[in-house]
């Protein structure tokens, strides 16, 4: 996977480790607060799950490591972070579950397999439109400098499908989950089932799968969600 700092502050002791979803790019989560000097902690994004190699050395030196994961990134975070000796911190999952390909706790298997089998530029556009939830949000997404190719996204989706079915997401302990009632990718009912079974408290928000304002709040709300 790819790992890069969206924000790096000299001498920062706190890290927000953000696992994005399938097809994600940094431009989808770059906000003015990243560079305006208002932040006090580092923000690292993980994406592109064509392989799951993770550089744990980049986590060294922090006294607190918060984890924020979205969509397929919820599974990926659990998969690579389980068992790591990490600095303590709150762990929040957004519109995803540890069971991303599952008829009752994730994306239904037939839907996932159908998306992979027929993925084209047209299908990708339709997926992103559903991910955004509205024409306005979709236009906002398409105005971004998205650069990943269709073949790259197909490879990532195939790799995720194989990895999910061959292994679990580990024993990673989540602190809280956010469920969007308007999510058309991970059905809200399936998310609720997964987190209820896991005993993880949830917040229910009227948001679609990708909701930039929610990510802005979670990334920059600081101690309001870091305290256990």
- pLDDT at residue 224 is higher than 70: no
Q: pLDDT-based confidence at 222, cuts 50/70/90?
A: low
Q: What is the mean pLDDT of residues 176-187?
A: 98
Give me the helix-helix angle, 121-132 and 135-142, nearest 10°: 120
Which of 48-57, 92-101, 198-207, 213-222 bottoms out in mean pLDDT, i.e. has the lowest?
213-222
pLDDT at 85: 87
Q: Is 155 exposed, middle or buried (0-12, 13-18, 19+ CB in 10 A)?
A: middle
Neighbour count for residue 18 (Cβ, 10 Å): 25
Compute the average pLDDT of residues 43-69.
96
In tens, the pLDDT along 28-47 reads 998 765 555 556 789 999 99
What pLDDT is stored for residue 189 in this prediction? 99
Which tens digit of pLDDT belongs to each residue from 80-98? Answer: 999 898 888 999 999 999 9
Do the bridges between strand 2-7 and strand 14-19 make them parallel or antiparallel, or are there none, so unpaired?
A: unpaired
- Give the model's confidence band at 227: pLDDT under 50 very low, under 70 low, under 90 confident, else very high: very low
List, in order, residues 6 or more apart from 173 with CB less than 8 Å away.
91
In sequence order, which residues have a C-beta less than 8 Å from that of residue 192 and are 6 or more positions away?
Answer: 179, 202
pLDDT score at 223? 47
State the average pLDDT over residues 182-187: 98
Confidence of residue 228 (pLDDT cuts 50, 70, 90): very low
Task: Give rounded-to-5 percent helix, strand, coil for the chain.
Answer: 40, 20, 45
Counting residues of the chain whose pLDDT is more than 90, the rounded percentage is 82
Beta strand pairing call for 176-180 and 64-70: unpaired
Chain center to CA of 155:
18
Q: Which pLDDT belongs to residue 221?
A: 67
Average pLDDT, the chain: 92
What count of Cα atoms within 13 Å lies in the side-chain half-sphere of residue 152?
12
CATH code of the domain covering residue 115: 3.40.50.1820
Structurally, the chain folds into a number of domains equal to 1
In this predicted structure, the answer to whether residue 196 has a pLDDT above a threshold of 90 is: yes
Count other Cβ atoms within 10 Å, centred on residue 176. 15
Domain extent, residue 173, equals: 2-224
């Amino acid at each position: 996977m790819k790992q890069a700092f969206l924000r790096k502050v000299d001498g920062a002791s706190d890290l927000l480790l953000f696992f994005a979803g399938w097809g994600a790019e940094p431009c989808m989560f770059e906000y003015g607060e990243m560079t305006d000097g208002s932040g006090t902690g580092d923000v690292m994004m993980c994406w592109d799950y064509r392989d799951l190699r993770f550089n744990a050395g980049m986590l060294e030196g922090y006294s607190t490591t918060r984890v924020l994961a979205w969509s397929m990134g919820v599974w990926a975070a659990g998969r690579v972070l389980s068992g790591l000796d990490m600095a303590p911190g709150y762990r929040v999952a957004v519109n995803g579950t540890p069971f991303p390909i599952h008829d009752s706790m994730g994306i239904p298997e037939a839907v996932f397999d159908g998306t992979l089998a027929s993925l084209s530029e047209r299908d990708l556009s339709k997926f992103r439109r559903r991910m955004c939830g509205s024409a306005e949000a979709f236009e906002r997404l398409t105005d971004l400098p998205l650069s990943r190719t269709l073949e790259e996204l197909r490879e990532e989706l195939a790799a995720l499908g194989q990895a999910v079915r061959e292994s679990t997401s580990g024993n990673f302990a989540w602190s809280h989950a956010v469920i969007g009632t308007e999510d058309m990718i991970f059905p809200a009912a399936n998310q609720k089932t997964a987190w209820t079974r896991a005993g993880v408290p949830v917040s229910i928000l009227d948001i679609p799968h990708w909701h930039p304002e929610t990510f802005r709040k979670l990334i920059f709300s600081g101690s309001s969600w870091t305290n256990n």
